Amino acid sequence: MSHVNETLQDLLERRLRELSHRRGRGENLSLREAWLRLPPRPGGGRAISYETARRIRENGHANISDDTADALAAMLDVSVDEVLEAAGRRKRLGRFELPRRADRLTEREHQAVLGIVDAILDAAEGAQEKAKGTPARSAPALQRQAARRTRPQS
């Protein structure tokens, strides 16, 4: 359950405090202890670097990727929606699936549908950033386009 107008930085501090109280400690859980709760990846490292977690705590970044949101949710033992809300991002509604008949789209039509989805998401992200007074970033759109181009075709 998120607190009204709680920033990502506020959420991080609150959960570090709450997690330490559950253990009966008098001080906050350290950021490193919370970060170590993330499972190691098979190739080494964790879902996010400790430096990323530290920067979020120090600077309160809100422009986070879905992977970072997932990692923070696991690290802080909260829902991903709570992390996204604190970051000022849209909550997830679940996997977006087109009806089976959409399998008959041509490659060009398929790309057009994905382009429309990208445009809607970019417009929403731009509106959120404009409301916060931060400059719009186009990196998410470029990352989505690159992911589609490099995704193996089946």
Considering its fold, how many domains does the chain have in total? 2
pLDDT at position 121 is 85
* Residues 13 and 73 reside in one and the same domain: yes
- CA-CA distance, 40 to 78, in Å (whole number)? 19
Residues 8, 60: contact at Cβ < 8 Å? yes
The structure tokens listed for 146 are: 């690159």
* Residues 59 and 16 reside in one and the same domain: yes
Domain final residue pick, 86, 117, 133 = 86
Residue 94 lies in a domain: no
Residues 82, 8: contact at Cβ < 8 Å? no
pLDDT at position 13 is 92
Q: List, run by run, the mean pLDDT of 10-residue segments along the chain (154 residues).
A: 78 90 71 91 89 90 86 94 90 87 94 92 76 55 56 52
* Residues 12 and 80 reside in one and the same domain: yes
* Residues 76 and 110 reside in one and the same domain: no
The structure tokens listed for 129 are: 């950033």
Residue 104 lies in a domain: yes
- CA-CA distance, 96 to 88, in Å (whole number)? 21
Q: Supply the range of the domain harboring residue 112.
A: 100-150
Rounded to the nearest angstrom, the gap between the alpha carbon of residue 129 and the centroid of all alpha carbons in its chain is 15
- CA-CA distance, 152 to 145, in Å (whole number)? 14
Angle at 57 (CA atoms; ends 55, 60), nearest 5 degrees = 80
pTM, to two decimals = 0.66
Q: Is 94 left (phi over 0), alpha (psi -120 to 50) or beta?
A: left
pLDDT at position 63 is 80
pLDDT at position 149 is 55
Tokens 């193996």 -> residue: 152
